[in-house]
Amino acid sequence: MPARPVRPERLLLTRRTGLLAAGAVVGAGVAGCSPYNGRPERRAGRLSPRPTPEPGADPDVELAADVLAVEQRMLERIDATAAAFPALAAQLDAVRRIHAAHVELLEQATPPAANSSPATEPTSPTAPTAPSGTSSPSSQPPSPGSSPGSPGPDTPVRVPPERSRAVLAVARAEEELSTAEKRGAFAAESGVFARVLASMAAAAAQQAVLLHGPVPGSGR
C-alpha cells in the first residue's frame, strides 16, 4: 500500500519539533537559575482565538504561530521595562534570553507565511452606522481568548511608573503566558509539540514565581 503524501507544513513542523523539545528543556533549565544569583531576570497576552485553518493546513502550525506571537509580545514587555528602568536591565536579561530562545525555535518550526503578520485591509474614513436596534461589531462580547483590558498585538506596552510595579507587571505577564502555553499544549495534535509547549509554560511559570520575590535595591 503506497504511503500517503505528507503535507509540507506537517513535514516542516515534524522536523523542528525535536529541536523545539531540546530547546524548551534547555529553556526550562535556564529558568531554574535564580535571577538573584548573578543571573539577570523578567506581558504577554493570551492566545487569541485562531482563525479557522484553510483546508489542508496543519492546525499545529497555526498554533505555533499563535504561541510565537505571544512570546514576541513578552519580549516587547521585557524590553520596554528595561528601557524605562535601566537598573532592571541586568535583572531582566536572563528571562529575555529564555523567551528569545523560544521565539527563535518557534520561528524555525513555522513556515514563513505563518509567522509573518497579515497585511491590514485599508479602512474607510468613516465607519458605517449600524441600523437602529442592532449592535455594532465593536459592541459584541469579547471573544473567549481575550479580555476587555487585553492590549492588541500592535498596542505599545505600558510600563507602570514605579519600579516594583513594573516588575510585578512582568511577573503577571509571565503567568498569563504560562496559562496560554498550557492551553496550547492541550490543543496541540502532536504529542512532541504538546510537551514543548508544556516546557515553555513551565519556564514562564517559574519566572513568574522568581519575579514575585524581592526586587533587588527596592527595599521590599
Element (H, E) at 213: none
Segments in 147-190 forming alpha helices (H): 163-187
The Cβ of residue 36 has, within 10 Å, a number of other Cβ atoms equal to 14
| Highest mean pLDDT (candidates 29-38, 85-94, 137-146, 208-217) | 85-94
Judged on CB neighbours under 10 Å (0-12, 13-18, 19+), 97 is middle
Which grid cell sits at 216? 533587588
* pTM as predicted: 0.61
Distance, CA of 175 to CA of 96 (rounded, Å): 15
**Mean pLDDT score of the chain:** 71
Bigger pLDDT: 205 vs 24? 205
143 or 158, higher pLDDT: 158
| pLDDT value, residue 111 | 73
| Placement of cell 441600523 in the chain | 131
Q: Tell me, what's the pLDDT at 151? A: 57
Ranges of each domain in the chain: 9-36+58-116+155-220
d(CA 120, CA 118): 6
Residue entry with cell 519575579: 211
166 touches 160 (CB < 8 A)? yes
User: What's the pLDDT band for 36 if we cut at 50, 70, 90?
Assistant: very low
Of 192, 180, 198, residue with least CA distance to 19: 192
Q: What are the tens digits of pLDDT across the range 146-194?
A: 433 345 666 888 999 999 999 999 999 999 999 999 999 999 999 999 9
Q: Does 120 have pLDDT greater than 50?
A: no
Residue 220 confidence (pLDDT) above 70: no
Top pLDDT among 190 and 25 is at: 190
- In the chain, the amino acid numbered 115 is N
